[in-house]
Structure 1
Amino acid sequence: MTDPMTALGERTGRCQCGDIAYEATGAPDDPHLCSCPHETRISGGPAVLWVGFRKDGFSWTGPGGEPRWYSSWPTLRRGFCARCGTHLISVADDSEMIMLTGFSLDDQRGIEPVGHSFREQAVPWMAITLAPDPDLP
């Protein structure tokens, strides 16, 4: 059986209204939750699930083209749908990777968080069971 975290293939995703859509090819990388105050404010939830893909395997495919961009740090910008507000992507200027919000993917099979950034800042009622680290035997 092929491990879905290392399998190459195509993943698709979109915003809530479908105006902004994308394709990502290649193996998903570093699926993790983040509960920093910045992410919880942007998402309106207790954590954001991020999944990395290489920039060179990513493209916008929806009728709305690219999302609207917001620079949240000097070298980091985030994309969201201007029509429905769905937060879709985070792009660091100096990285070969992009980070997609995990639940904007049309199919989340094989996407299980292996880490939880800012776990100590998570709301106290949130309990997380992380997937085993894929790099460990």
Structure 2
Amino acid sequence: MLTGGCHCGSVRYETADAPFERALCHCELCRRTTGAPAVAWFTVRESALRLTGEPATYASSDHAVRTFCGRCGTQITFKDAAYGDRIDLTTASLDDPEAAPPVEQIWVRSRLPWMAAAHALPDDLDRRPTEA
């Protein structure tokens, strides 16, 4: 069972389906709708997904809708009408994101050039924002 939800807990989900796709997406739409340089997604059958709460929806294109928590803003799903009974969920919204790590990267032609070198950036594991 995979479970997850938004940051504030208003929207929750669960699925017994094993993900059949797990990817790190570099497309511009994912970047713009999340404010992140890439988004990790996993895909299950929509009919096997149980969503609770009242997620807000946003038509990010003429054929795709994204859901997110209207209270805290966490993006939860991506649904493309062209793909039938399948829905993508944001991997980082899982209670245990290690349960469905990406196994491939998609839309790599759109990848921000500095993302290719991100693994070489120094680690600062304990950094906290400084107070002004």
TM range (shorter): 0.7 to 0.9
- Give the Cα–Cα distance (whole angstroms) in 2 for the partners of residues 75 and 38 of structure 1: 13
Q: Which amino acid aligns with 1:30?
A: E
Find runs of 4+ consecutive structure 1 residues off by over 6 angstroms. none
Q: 1:121 to 1:97 in 2, by over 3 A?
A: same
Using the size of structure 1 for normalisation, the TM-score is: 0.78
Q: Which amino acid aligns with 1:83?
A: R
Report if the CA contact (8 A) 1:25-1:53 is conserved.
no
2:42 equivalent to 1:42: no
- Give the Cα–Cα distance (whole angstroms) in 2 for the partners of residues 27 and 35 of structure 1: 23
Larger Rg: 2
Structure 1 partner of 2:50? 59
Q: Which amino acid aligns with 1:89?
A: T
C-alpha deviation, 1:110, in angstroms = 3.8
- Give the Cα–Cα distance (whole angstroms) in 2 for the partners of residues 24 and 48 of structure 1: 20
C-alpha deviation, 1:48, in angstroms = 0.6
Query: 1:1-137 counterparts in 2 under 5 A?
Result: 10-61=1-52, 65-94=53-82, 95-127=84-116
- Give the Cα–Cα distance (whole angstroms) in 2 for the partners of residues 86 and 14 of structure 1: 8
Using the size of structure 2 for normalisation, the TM-score is: 0.81
Q: Which amino acid aligns with 1:46?
A: P
Report if the CA contact (8 A) 1:46-1:123 is conserved.
yes
Q: Which amino acid aligns with 2:2?
A: R
Q: Which runs of 5+ in 1 are unaligned?
A: 1-9, 130-137
Count of residues in correspondence between the two structures: 117
Q: Which runs of 5+ in 2 are unaligned?
A: 120-132
Higher helix share: 2
C-alpha deviation, 1:66, in angstroms = 2.9
Q: Percent identity?
A: 38
